[in-house]
Each structure stands twice: as C-alpha cells, then as structure tokens.
Structure 1
Amino acid sequence: MDNDEQTLATNELTTLPLDHNWYQKLASNFEIIQPYLDKLNTDELGLDDLKNKFDNISDKINIYETNMQAIVNILSNYDVPIAIVDGKVVETEEGE
C-alpha cells in the first residue's frame, strides 16, 4: 500500500439522493479500509508476537511472586518479622 493521502468520505455520504456518486464514495471507503483489514488477517501487525511477549512477561511475574512468597515463608519460619503487604515485603512487629 502506498503512502498517498487517502481520506474516507464521511460527511459527504449523509447527503441524499443515493445516486451513483454516493455509491462511488462508499466503494472508495471500502477500498481504503481493505488493506488494513488484510494486515489484520495476515497478522502483519505482529499481534501474535506481542501476545507471546506478554505471556512470557506474565509467566516471569508469576514466578517472581511465587519465589518471593516462598522466601518470606522460609524467613517467617525462622521468626524473621516480615510479610508481604500489598505486593511488597515489609517488616512486621514481633508476634504479628
């Protein structure tokens, strides 16, 4: 697709009567939109790659949180006064 400036006919389509000129403008809109729809269909936008990266980051965050909870649990077993509050490791008062 070239970078020629193409604009959709919008306000112009609300005028009556629905003559051949109106039809041509409507058809032109679809011609402008079609290449973008084709990109979506062939994933030229890289959406699959983006989803894979998001899933990878999400997995790493889950592993990090699991590891952090395990460390806090181990330290708590040795009476180290810490806990996870609002996703952060904080020092607690003895006996909490």
Structure 2
Amino acid sequence: MDNNKQNLTTDELSTIPLDHNWYQKLAVNFEIIQRYLDKIDADDLKNKFDDMSEQLNVCETNTQAIVNILSNYDVPIQIVNGKVVDTEEGK
C-alpha cells in the first residue's frame, strides 16, 4: 500500500462528535497495546523457537532410537506418520 494513501481510521474520528472521555479511553487502549508490543522481542522469540525446535529434534531422535532398540528385540512396533504403533507379528 502506498504510504501517501495510508490513513489511520482513527484520523476520521475527529469528524465524529464524541466526548473527550471517549478519546481518553481510546488513548489508554493504545497505551495498553503499545506496552505489550514493546515486550515483543523478535530475536527472543526466534531464540525460543530455535530452542523448542532443537528439543523436538532430540525427542524425535530418542524415540526413533528406542523403537530401533525394541525392534532389535522383536517387539512389534514401528513409527508410522510420526507415531509409534503396534504392528502384528510377522509384518
């Protein structure tokens, strides 16, 4: 969207006959929203996501290792669509 054409909807509020109290409430709402936006740190979120992804990979690797060990002892299980399932003997 072209910056010249971007107008805030709130810019149109000045033409509406609203009392001063309403404008104060609106300003407070924006202040509340701004506090939460300030808390959002993209780098921190990325680090948390990377940590969770790494933990998930470790869990998947461990699950696969356990299934492989049990399969070596003829336990009828395997991983299907990311889930450990019982298999019938001989399959």
TM-score by length of 1: 0.52
Are 1:32 and 2:32 matched, yes or no?
yes
In structure 1, what residue type is equivalent to 2:30? F
Which residue pairs with 1:64 in the alignment?
62
Whole-Å Cα distance in 2 between the matches of residues 84 and 73 of structure 1?
A: 7
Whole-Å Cα distance in 1 between the matches of residues 32 and 72 of structure 2?
A: 61
Gaps of 5+ in 2: 1-16
Whole-Å Cα distance in 2 between the matches of residues 75 and 21 of structure 1?
A: 74
Which residue pairs with 2:8 in the alignment?
none
SS in 2 for 1:18: coil
The answer to whether the 8 A contact 2:67-2:77 is kept is yes
Gaps of 5+ in 1: 1-16, 77-81, 88-95
Q: How far apart are 1:72 and its partner, in Å?
A: 1.6
Identical amino acids, percent of aligned pairs:
38
Name the structure with the higher helix share. 2
Query: What is the aligned residue count?
Result: 68
Task: Tell me: higher relative CO, structure 1 or 2? Use CA pairs within 8 A at least 6 residues apart.
Answer: 1
TM-score by length of 2: 0.54
Of the structure 1 ranges 17-26 and 65-74, higher mean CA displacement relative to structure 2 is found in: 17-26
Q: How far apart are 1:27 and its partner, in Å?
A: 1.1
Whole-Å Cα distance in 2 between the matches of residues 18 and 27 of structure 1?
A: 14
